Structures are given as structure tokens and as C-alpha cells.
Amino acid sequence: MYYMSPLAFHLGAPMENVLQQVNLRDQALAVLKYRLISGDLAPGEIYSAAALAAELGVSNSPVREAMLTLVNEGLMETVKNRGFRVVPLRNEERRNIYELRKLIEVPSMAKLATMKDEVNAHRDRFEQLVADIIKAAQEKNVVAFVEADRNFHIGLLALLGNEQLTTIVDNLRNQTRRYGLKVLSSQEGELVKSAEGHKLLLDAILSGDKKLVTKVMTDHLSPLAGDDMTEGVSTLTAEPSRKRA
């Protein structure tokens, strides 16, 4: 569904111009999210919509709208007369999100073990995603890893037919993956180990073993609660804020 701003309606803007503008906003949003994940947009830093728009070669409007979307998602905040600041994820917040993800994702994945036939109908797609995740991890391509990882987890949860569940999980993942994966990718072998966990999870679901799914999924989330992750996040968020023009 496309969004048309009230201003566009008021001014009687041609439909094709509005759609083009929305497309630019969505593209800008995708770029900004990837930069958050890769660390190019750093926690605590303040960024100018005009500067980023110039870098992307587009007008200010779609970039500003994309940044306001990130504000609504809790990933950025506005700084009056300065721009947008990437919100650092405090250790307490990270632990809280980890607990929430454990409470929601682990039993949800375990439930899929009782739906072997439904999952098996999409087996080829999920096996291909597992292969994509492992390949991205081996190449240390964090952006490709995130895309395939999201499609794998959200795709599996979508089989439960609960749109509210997938929306909540997706939002929680957005708040943690941007830091966690950067730390994992800097540690030799850890990103690949995490990637291979996806095959273990899929095999456990297809075997119908709820207990095994629970263990594998709990282990899969555990880096968010580890001391190594705490140190990594502290390093990423310790620098003072400064404006990038």
C-alpha cells in the first residue's frame, strides 16, 4: 500500500510524482537501515538529512521522511537545529530486548515443530535462505547476512499466521541486530557459527522436536546476553556525539 502525504493531496500533486517520491523515500530508508547495520551510521552520532541527501543524489524530502520513519521505529531521534541522532542501545535495553525475544520467539519457533507439513511445503525456500546466510557469513557481508537472516526468521514466523507477532519480532530484531552483527562479524568464526545455527534450527523444526527447537533457538539468541556482546556494544557507543555535515 502506498502512502500519500496530506500535503500532496492539498497541492493536487500528480499521482505519478507522488509515487516517485514514495519510491525514493523507501529506497532511502533501505539504504539508511543498511548503514545502521553495517555501522556506517554510528550510535551517538548526529547526521544531517541534507548531507545524506546530497551523498545519495536525491532531494532532502525523501531522506528526511526516511529518517523520521527511523525515529518512529526508535532507531533515531531528532536533535533540534542539528539533525538526527542514532540512538545508542544501552546494555540494559539490550538485555530487556533479549528477554522479550526469548519470551516471544522461542515458543513461537517451537510451535512450528507441530506444523511440520506446513514448513516442509516451503522447505526449498528456507534451505536456500540458509545457504545464503552461510555464504554471506563466510564473505563477512553483514548487509546480505541481515537480509537473508530476516527473511528466514520472519518467513518462518509468518507461517503461524499472526501478523502482530511478526511485526513485534521484526521491530525487536531491528533494535538489536544493527549492533550485534557488527560485533559478531569482527570475531573470527562467530558470524559463520551463527549462520550455521540456522540449518540446525530448520532441521529441528522439520524433525518435529519441540524440545530441540527450544534449545537451538535459545542458543541462537544467546549472543545478545553474553559479556562479549556487552563489551562490543560499549565500545560502539562510548564515543561522544559529533555532527557530520
Query: What is the tens place of the pLDDT at every residue in 209-243?
Result: 999 999 999 998 887 765 433 333 322 233 333 33
Per CATH, the number for 6-87 is 1.10.10.10
Q: Which residue has the cell 514514495?
A: 22
CATH 1.10.10.10 domain extents, the chain: 6-87
Q: What is the C-alpha to C-alpha distance for residues 51 and 58, in angstroms, rounded to an integer?
A: 10
Query: What is the tens place of the pLDDT at every residue in 39-91?
Result: 788 888 899 999 999 998 899 999 999 999 999 888 899 999 899 999 887 88
Give the containing element (helix H, strand E) for 29. Answer: helix 15-38
Mean pLDDT score across all residues of the chain? 80
CATH 1.20.120.530 domain extents, the chain: 91-234
Per CATH, the number for 91-234 is 1.20.120.530
Report the range of poorest mean pLDDT among 17-31, 73-87, 110-124, 131-145.
17-31
Q: What is the C-alpha to C-alpha distance for residues 35 and 65, in angstroms, rounded to an integer?
A: 16
Contact 86, 42 (CB under 8 A): yes
Return the closest-CA partner of residue 183 out of 70, 77, 71, 38.
38
Distances from the Cα of 113 to the Cα of 9, 107, 121, 202, 209, angstroms: 48, 10, 13, 9, 6
> What's CA 5's distance to the chain center, in Å?
26
Q: What is the C-alpha to C-alpha distance for residues 216 and 213, in angstroms, rounded to an integer?
A: 5
Contact 118, 74 (CB under 8 A): no
Q: What is the C-alpha to C-alpha distance for residues 221 and 184, in angstroms, rounded to an integer?
A: 12
Structure pTM?
Answer: 0.70
